[in-house]
Amino acid sequence: MKRRILFTVMALAVALPAVAADWTMIVKDRTRRIEIDRDSVLQSDPGTKVAWGRIVLSAEDAEEAGYATVKALNRYDCKHRNFSTVKRVYLDADNRVIREERVAEERIIEVNPRSVDEGLWREVCKPPAAMDVAALAEAASAAAAAQKDKDKSEAKVRHADQRTAPADRATATPVADTEAVRHPTALPADQVEVRTLDKGQSLVPPIPRLGPAGQPAPAAPVVEAPAPTPVVPERVQAKAPPSAPAVVTAPVTRPAPPVVRKATRAPRPKPVLAKVTRHEDTHEPTSVEVHKSIHWDYEGPNGPARWGQLNPAWKTCDSGKRQSPIDIRDGIRVDLEPIKFDYVPTYFRILNNGHTVQVSVGPGNTMSVMGRTFDLVQFHFHRPSEERINGRGFDMVAHLVHKDLDGRLAVVAVLIERGDAHPTVQTLWNNLPLEQHHDYAPAVPINVAELLPQAPEYYTYMGSLTTPPCSEDVLWMVMKQPIKLSAEQIAIFQRLYPMNARPVQPDNERLIKASR
């Protein structure tokens, strides 16, 4: 099956706060720690999410492997309990990128119970407890029934959920005790089962050694194991006795023998379907609830003049010194390097979030400038344009929001003026949701490159988000040449949002550069 570009989340707002990633540790031992970036968790199709994870090696293993950290962008199927890797990035001890690699053909990896993969999957998907209790209860009931049949010939105490040990193991290891059934999300790191990989791949591939110039050196053979889970460094694997299976389990204290009930007496619980949360365009996906309770607007008592007073976390809207948008004047004319856009056809999800029309796209669309590569996350529209050029405003503007691996933001602003109809925008308008806060993922792709002007010249300056929380340190690039929309296309957006633009902010003598 050919690879399909993924949908990304509506939860990602018109822009993201330019802060460090929220890395949450899933498991840690003396050789490495495995973490997930909570801020990177993005909703795609209902039941599917994408997120960045990483393995941070110990100093000893990093020296041997040739890198200190490897990040992986994974797609998680929350309904079917599996995931696949989209992209990997290798970094040195100073967090500098050694090399990047995109997965040419994604491999679906099943999430095994009590594995590190399950810890990552739980952190991303946040499954309702009832769903997991149902699955565990079903497994426990089946195991209890099988054990009862076996006990007809054996007079001894039995456990409800237990699996047979491999032939070369003397004792069996419990898969889940009664406490795990009651609290399925409580998986202490010292009780997590860690396996080596088979021919598939998990969070990262079997850790390669990098040779000169960051190129992979010949990899050592990897011992195959029954289930694909995050890899243990090869140096650690080599210490296992040759006769032992490639499964490392922490000692598990057996609980008091539970009471075994007949499977037929307990009705099988019905699975609870996860609810897809609809998010607003708040520029701060980690504070969606706050934005729903604290209403902000473009006019009236909750308009831009009061954003900084509505919430203490938004005080930068009042006190910031590098706020956006600005009236771009007196730019220094220099030979700016062209922006390298690498946009490809992608499916999309469109959302009318109460502040704008926002379009989320899948990974694989990138933009490179000033030595950094940014992933396009989403784009949205304002009317009239928030930016002004030497005092001149435009009918509309499209903001293309990008984010790099360190969480830095870069926004490309494409000015819009009245003219001929634009086919890509017409595709978007054709698929507008009927109600606010409802989203729609049509079965037609778009190519965001068609929203870019022909001329590569642009203005650039450092600014901020243009809605609460007005976080600064955002790289802005405003394309000089506008694109055109028809009067009818502009009127469609105007009907939804007659005015959704923040007023221009003081430039405070910021440096503005302009292409010659």
Q: Any idea which residues carry the catalytic annotation?
A: 355
Q: How many angstroms separate the Cα of 64 from the Cα of each of 138, 196, 230?
A: 45, 19, 19
* Three-state SS at 119: helix
d(Cα 205, Cα 229) in Å, to the nearest integer?
A: 10
* Three-state SS at 326: coil
d(Cα 64, Cα 216) in Å, to the nearest integer?
A: 12
Q: How many angstroms separate the Cα of 81 from the Cα of each of 4, 48, 109, 179?
A: 19, 10, 9, 22
Place of tokens 């995109």: 102
Q: How many angstroms separate the Cα of 243 from the Cα of each of 110, 246, 247, 468?
A: 27, 9, 12, 60
What amino acid is encoded at 442 in this protein? P
d(Cα 237, Cα 220) in Å, to the nearest integer?
A: 11
* Three-state SS at 229: coil
Work out the angle at residue 140's Cα, subtended by the Cα atoms of residues 114 and 195, and round it to the nearest 5 degrees: 20
Residues whose CB falls within 8 Å of the CB of residue 55, separated by 6 or more in sequence, listed in order: 32, 33, 34, 35, 69, 70, 203, 204, 207, 230, 231
Q: Identify which of 72, 104, 109 has the alpha carbon closest to the alpha carbon of residue 3.
A: 104
d(Cα 71, Cα 456) in Å, to the nearest integer?
A: 32
- DSSP characters over 163-212: -PPPTT-SS--BS--HHHHH-TT---GGG-BEE---SS--SS-S-PPB-G
Count CB atoms within 10 A of the CB of residue 142.
Answer: 12
What amino acid is encoded at 483 in this protein? I
d(Cα 414, Cα 451) in Å, to the nearest integer?
A: 8
